Chain A
Amino acid sequence: MQPEAKDPEEDSVWEEPPSMLWGLDPMFNAFTRLYVKDILQMRESCQVSGIYFYNSHPIFKVDVLGTVVYKREREDFFCYGVDDGTGVINSLCWKDEPWREQGDPATPGARSFGSSAREDFNPANELKKLRQAQHSSSHLEIGELLRVRGPVKTSRQQREIMASTYYKVSDPVMAVQISWMMEVPQLYRQCYDKPFHLDSSAQNPNIQGGSASYLLGRATRILKDFLKEKEVTRFRPYDVQDLLQPLVSRQPQKTAAEQVHIQWEEQEPEAGPSSGPPTSFKQLRELLQKSLQILQDEGLVFRKVKCQDEVYHVTERDKDLLMAIRDILREDCRREKYAEKGCHILHILSSVRQRYSRNVSKAALELVLKALECNSDIISTSDSHYTIL
């Protein structure tokens, strides 16, 4: 009988995500390298038995490397006790059919050495050698190193690993164990200890837009297509705001109170009495800001002058910027210093920032340089050097 969680308040604070969404967590499908201590302590799911939770991640199968500290052999399987330094866990390792009929594999070994000295390839001997290898890889003694991978099961009130793969690890100078000791804390810090975040939109399957990152991706796509089709050179946020309206208006209400108020079948959030324009407008503003930031980071747009008036310039269509870069290259490549090799991109960047605008990012500059090169105005002399043609 699993005892109740020590701190009942913890339970009420954290709820399991619905089982349908567990597949969204990449850890669910991986053989997680948890410490045995954590495998033994992780809480079992209330929804599906056989699935466990570590730090809000649904865990199904694990990967353990440890020393065999006890061994029980039956006709069909081994039960190895694996100790990885943090805990000891049972590991149920089924025996393979093919070599179970083998007698003592030691004697054939001596004979097969003699025959392998001959030139001919003897399949029967090779098969025998293979069986011996399989046998030695699955028969372990106490003190040997075992690698086990498989799902965790609770059987007779004990947690154990039902090995889907297991083998003896030859580690004469402890290289494998040392690298495991170095890697696992990293895995914990980078993956396992980071909580599994589910967007509230992902939890509600009624939303057509899906998760926030999906929405953001669509928003940036819409903006990019618009800027390209209409050959926009400059714009302000409110010029493009309406483009993102359809993405936002599909989001239904988030709170239960608001849901109760929706009487209409059309699910128009703006029409709902408790939601109204302010909520969706705020979402729209947020989405717009995030999308514009992404476009800036990618270098597609930039703000020539940072002031109250938010004007965005589309990088590739800014004629002044193009001319400024061409002038820089034309003048500097006349100088002896740059004549042969051309100007380094960072030199160009600092010149552009001095002459034209402080807010031109490296990403934006790279876009323009690529455009100029495609146009045969300039040419790259090396990975990061350019010269005028």
Chain B
Amino acid sequence: MSPAVFHFLWEVNFGAVKEGDSVRTFGRLVSYQPEESKATLSIQHAARQHQVVVQTTFVEPFDPIIGAQYIVLGEIEKAEGGDGVMVHARVLNCVDGVNLALLQRGVNEQRSYFRERGESKGDAATAAQQRAPL
């Protein structure tokens, strides 16, 4: 099972995550179509609205609060119609009230640490060589 790495919605849309890989992302619930089991999450970034479609078959029934912040964990799949990607959710949690700026900072803090570590691979590599098969 691949880990669900945090990505921002705009990154998901730009293909930052490979098809089949797990991802964790967040956004505001703008619409929900229960008949098709599809929800749309949206987030504002750099003066643009970014949206992604979420397949909710595995997480139904859930209580949709339109306008609330949600966090989704799931696999990337090709969107129907072949245009772009969608997330097949395994987890869909309402996190309304989350401090978005702080969350973004948290994600970036973690990323910058991994970048730093990647640069000085020599030191970290001493212990990080063996892989346990899952």
Binding site for B on A (CB under 8 A): 2-7, 10, 13-14, 36-38, 40-44, 53-56, 67, 69-70, 81, 83-88, 142-143, 154, 157-159, 172-175, 177-179, 181-182, 184-185, 188-189, 193, 195
Q: List 6 A-B contacts (CB under 8 A).
A: A2-B130, A10-B126, A13-B126, A67-B91, A143-B59, A175-B99
A154 to B110, CA, bound (A): 27
What size tier do the contact residues of chain B reach? Answer: 35 or more
Chain A residues, CB < 8 A from B1: 69-70, 81, 83, 88
Q: How far is the CB of A226 from chain B (nearest CB, A)?
A: 43
Is residue B81 within 8 Å, beta carbon to beta carbon, of the partner chain? no
Are B126 and A14 in contact, with the CB atoms below 8 A? yes
Are B131 and A40 in contact, with the CB atoms below 8 A? yes
Chain B residues, CB < 8 A from A38: 128
Are B99 and A143 in contact, with the CB atoms below 8 A? no
Are B133 and A185 in contact, with the CB atoms below 8 A? no
Are B130 and A172 in contact, with the CB atoms below 8 A? no
Is residue B3 within 8 Å, beta carbon to beta carbon, of the partner chain? yes
Chain A residues, CB < 8 A from B125: 7, 10
Which of B2, B97, B129 is in CB contact (< 8 Å) with A10?
A: B129
Is residue B124 within 8 Å, beta carbon to beta carbon, of the partner chain? yes
Are B132 and A157 in contact, with the CB atoms below 8 A? yes
Number of A-B contacts (CB under 8 A): 131
Chain A residues, CB < 8 A from B112: 185
A2 to B112, CA, bound (A): 30
Q: How far is the CB of A133 from chain B (nearest CB, A)?
A: 22
Chain A residues, CB < 8 A from B52: none
| Segment 6-56 of B: residues with Cβ below 8 Å from A | 6, 22, 24
Are B90 and A69 in contact, with the CB atoms below 8 A? yes
Are B129 and A87 in contact, with the CB atoms below 8 A? no
Q: How far is the CB of A33 from chain B (nearest CB, A)?
A: 12
Chain B residues, CB < 8 A from A189: 113
Chain B residues, CB < 8 A from A179: 106
From known contacts A181-B107, A193-B117, infer whether A85 and B129 are also in contact, taking CB-CB under 8 Å: no
Q: Which residue of A lies closest to B112 (CB)?
A: A185
A204 to B96, CA, bound (A): 58
Are A174 and B3 in contact, with the CB atoms below 8 A? no
From known contacts A43-B130, A67-B91, A69-B90, infer whether A173 and B98 are also in contact, taking CB-CB under 8 Å: yes
Chain B residues, CB < 8 A from A53: 127
